Structure 1
Amino acid sequence: MTSAVIVAAGKGTRMKSSKGLSKQYIEIVGKPIILRTIEKFVKSEAIDEIIIVVSKKDEQYLKEKVLSKIKSGKPIKIAYGGKERFESSLNGINASSKDSDTILIHDAVRPFVKIEEIEKVAEKARKTGAAVLAVKSKDTVKLVSDGIINSTPDRDQVYLIQTPQGFSKKLLLDAYMDLINSDEIFMPTDDASVAERYGANVHVVEGSYENIKITTSSDIGFAESIIKSECGI
């Protein structure tokens, strides 16, 4: 059984709507960003259940304005976010069914992930234990310290990591428990880094450059153009 955890507990301090809504609830071409995201996982045959991790104060809004518009027999659960992003992920994982053995974790503000990409990550995660969606960097990347370039990694080896990220549920929970019980000061920026720290080999699944994370107001125009292109507008 495969569970999708959609993380939507962020406050979105860099971008809010005129109504004060966090970015995941902002409408683009007449539909909230998070609704577009959830719909992809509802449609994917690789996903058996969906857990949405939200701020407790947003729960009622999510139910009334988003979940009420989804017509599906697929189970959709709600979990509450933690102080840090990794705590929100862990809360979502813990809310998954006891029968779930594979977990996909996805950013609520990445609505343009393709259904086939979701299914490729799920398949790779089931086979290998850990897989992430990623694209090759188009730009030259520099490692910088104190404003000075230290080195230039080979661009062919540089990938921009996206979501979903898929894992064996047992592996990911073991990795999180190892982190929590450690005295090490380590703040993971994604779930893959938790698995990497634990010693897991995380495999890359080629994604698409359209799978953007909508973070600032400048991303809205690009998002609108993607939607209009998909709809032939």
Structure 2
Amino acid sequence: MTSAKFAAVLPAGGLGKRMGSSLPKQLIDLGGKPVYRYSLETFAQMPQIAEVVLAVPADWKSHFEEDLKVSPFADKIQIVVGGKERWQSVQNGIAALSSNVKFALVHDVARPLLSQELILQVMETLEKKGACLVARPSVDTVKVVKDGKVECTIPREKIYLAQTPQAASVELFRELYAKIEAEPLAFLPTDEASILEHFGVPVYIVPGDTLNDKITTPADLERFRAMLEK
């Protein structure tokens, strides 16, 4: 792996309304620093990562710039304004990458405890197989429900819970975003894999873990605080 091949794009453009906080979720304190800095610093300190692009809410851009200007990784980090939807934030981040970056790893900053080992596995899968995402097998039985009534049970062994990073070549991301610009999708993609799947791109699985779960609610935040204290 050469240092110029990989970049991280970190969509942090949401306001995290389910947290019930006046601060965007990514700026809430977790163990003495804002949530978003955990994954940003994990990526930025890796020599294999040439660039880190952070896509943030327009009204908070100056706050992030102030927070990161003294970062030891400031020369690797670029801040862009996010879009209305998550995929548009990622699109803005991909557009900001330099021409020598071959692969982009897209990661939710609300997943703060991402490990470098997992990042390396994503990189290896990208180079050997192609587009991929981190996901973990469901440990629960999954039911399809309509109008409050169970319709059927989906075999658990077929169900994986999507995490991030989700990754592909920069060229492929740009090609697919251009197609969406020309002909908007009939659905709202909630992650990069759903866009890749829509266009028939094979997406491989990199096994994830519970440490890489997402902070969505106040209860999640307390659980992560307890993990960090341990």
Report if TM-score (shorter chain) is over 0.5.
yes
Instruction: Name which of 50, 57, 66 aligns with 1:55.
Output: 57
CA distance in 2, matches of 1:172, 1:226: 35
Distance 2:46 2:158 in 1: 30
Q: Which AA in structure 2 matches 1:14?
A: R
| TM alignment of 1:1-233, pairs within 5 A | 1-17=5-21, 20-65=22-67, 67-72=68-73, 74-182=75-183, 184-229=185-230
| Equivalent-residue separation in structure 2 for 1:82 and 1:216 (angstroms) | 23
Q: Is the 8 A contact 2:56 2:81 kept in 1?
A: yes
Partner of 2:223: helix, strand, or coil? helix
Q: In 2 relative to 1, CA 177–150 (structure 1 residues): closer, same or farther, beyond 3 Å?
A: farther
Change (3 A) 1:133 1:74: farther
Paired residue total: 226
Matches of 1:15 and 1:197 in 2, distance apart? Answer: 31
Distance 1:74 1:119, change over 3 A: farther
**SS of the residue 2:162 aligns to:** strand
RMSD after superposition: 1.5
The Cα shift of 1:46 comes to 2.8
Q: Cα distance, 1:69 vs. partner? A: 4.9
What is the letter of the counterpart of residue 104 of structure 1? L
**Deviation of the 1:196 alpha carbon:** 0.5
Maintained 8 Å contact 1:139/1:155: yes
Q: Which runs of 5+ in 1 are unaligned?
A: none
The C-alpha deviation readout for 1:134-153, integer Å capped at 9, x for no partner, is 11111101122232322211
Distance 1:223 1:69, change over 3 A: farther
Q: TM-score, normalised by structure 1?
A: 0.91
CA deviations 1:161-185 (Å, max 9, x no partner) are 0011110112222222223322541
Cα distance between partner residues in 2 of 1:41 and 1:73 = 12
Provide the C-alpha distance between the structure 2 equivalents of 1:61 and 1:184, rounded to a whole number of angstroms: 33
Q: How big is the shift at 1:49?
A: 0.6
d(CA) in 2 for partners of 1:25 and 1:85?
17
For residue 31 of structure 1, report the CA deviation from its aligned partner.
1.1
Between stretches 70-79 and 50-59, larger displacement belongs to: 70-79
CA–CA distance in 2 between the matches of 1:219 and 1:168? 32
- Contact persistence 1:43–1:115 (CA under 8 A): no
